[in-house]
Chains A and B, each alone.
Chain A
Amino acid sequence: MKSTFVRAIVLTLTVAGLAAPSMTSAKTVAPSKTATTSFSGYPTPLCMPGTGNYCGMQ
């Protein structure tokens, strides 16, 4: 029973993770207009330093 429960959780995690990237319905922007990404776990900026664009940093 316990192992079935753990297996169900793992299967849900796997299916959700694999399916997620292709399931967005939000408005997308061109790659050149993307301002941030998540590379380090924390929000990672893509605006080059010295351009005066701080990716919304307050």
Chain B
Amino acid sequence: MSNVLWLRDVSIAECAMSFCVAAIFIYKRVWGKFSLLFALIALRALSGAILIPLLFFRKDLGISLPVAYNTYFITAWISGAAQTLLLIGVIYHVYHEAMRPLQGLQRIGKIIFRWVAVVSLAVSLAFAAGPHTSTITFASFATAIAPQVQQGVFVLTLCLLLFVCLAIRPLGLTFRSRIFGVALGLGVTATTFLVQAAWLATVGAQSLYSPIYLVGTVGTLVSVCIWGAYFTLPEPERKMILLPTTSPFFTWNRISEALGDEPGYVAIAGFKPQMLAAAELKVLSSAAHKVDRLPASSQSAEDILSRSAANQRVAVSQ
């Protein structure tokens, strides 16, 4: 069996599996909760339904080569750009769902994610428009920027998978949770595409029927199967999260929750009674009256407490 036939059959299997998994999402009514992943799978299925006949059955369909190539070119690039954007959205969604119990870390992670995305995009654009290209053509620009953006997204995907895998218990997840399944599927896709990327700049990638594309297609097929399995099987409920007080997750979550809060203000100097509103003056004067009416025994108790606190401070400072 030749490489072209292998590529054709695996591509057809992957496209058919994508349609099946999209149907599972609709049947199980999870396409709303995992809308970006559903859109990614549906887009892969639809683009496969257009690209596979053009690539492998053009002569049988009687389509001329220029028409087939132009259609293939436009569809592949639009689909690729949309898939990359959806992939970033899915990674963001997986992180958001995984970190739901730890609101502080979730919030700070989202801020870091946005900054990393902006910086990565800026670096990729700067690299693509760098002085190494004497004449900027679509091919030279796309060759420079597309692999950079894609590899950056896949490295981010692998980091997410590693994080979810290693922090699965503090997040209250199990290896049967759908969040982990989605991250695992993305990780398989990312690994196979990064392996495939090693050959993209070689003579092996000179044809659309190159055997190197088998690697990525098989990886996508495996990841779609993983998603299908995870969304077909019932998901275990999220566990109660019991963290020790010394846990770094607990500590950093509390610190992150405090970060960015609106601070309180204390008047140190320059305060005048005229600065207070009438209602504030009334509250203060009533509080002062209450302090005056306190019995001598409670005042002495307060004195004792303040004295003991002062003594403790002196002991600590010594």
Chain A interface residues (CB < 8 Å from chain B): 2-3, 6-7, 10-11, 13-14, 16-18, 20-24, 26-29, 31-32, 34-50, 54-58
| Given A39-B146, A41-B217, A57-B69, A27 contacting B209 (CB threshold 8 A) | no
Tell me if B66 counts as interface (CB < 8 A to partner A).
Answer: yes
A43–B208 touching, CB < 8 Å: yes
Within 8 Å CB of A16, what residues of B?
Answer: 191, 194-195
B47-91 contact mask (Cβ, 8 Å, vs A): 1 or 0: 110011001001100000110111011001101110110000000
Q: Which of B126-180 contact A (CB under 8 A)?
A: 132-133, 137-140, 142-144, 146-147, 150-151, 154-155, 158-159, 161-162, 165-166, 168, 175
Contacting residue for A56 out of B142, B175, B208, B217, CB 8 A: B208
Contacting residue for A57 out of B72, B144, B146, B166, CB 8 A: B72
| Given A7-B166, A10-B162, A46-B143, A39 contacting B187 (CB threshold 8 A) | no
Contacting residue for A35 out of B76, B83, B137, B206, CB 8 A: B206
Q: Who on chain A is nearest to B219 by CB?
A: A41
A10–B155 touching, CB < 8 Å: no
Tell me if B6 counts as interface (CB < 8 A to partner A).
Answer: no
Give the docked Cα–Cα distance between A55 and B216 (Å). 19
Majority SS at the chain B contact face: helix
B5-22 contact mask (Cβ, 8 Å, vs A): 1 or 0: 000000100000000000
Within 8 Å CB of A37, what residues of B?
Answer: 142-143, 146-147, 200, 205
| Given A2-B175, A44-B80, A58-B209, A26 contacting B190 (CB threshold 8 A) | no
CB distance from A23 to the nearest CB of B (A): 6
B198–A21 touching, CB < 8 Å: yes
Tell me if B247 counts as interface (CB < 8 A to partner A).
Answer: no
B143–A24 touching, CB < 8 Å: no
Give the docked Cα–Cα distance between A43 and B77 (Å). 10
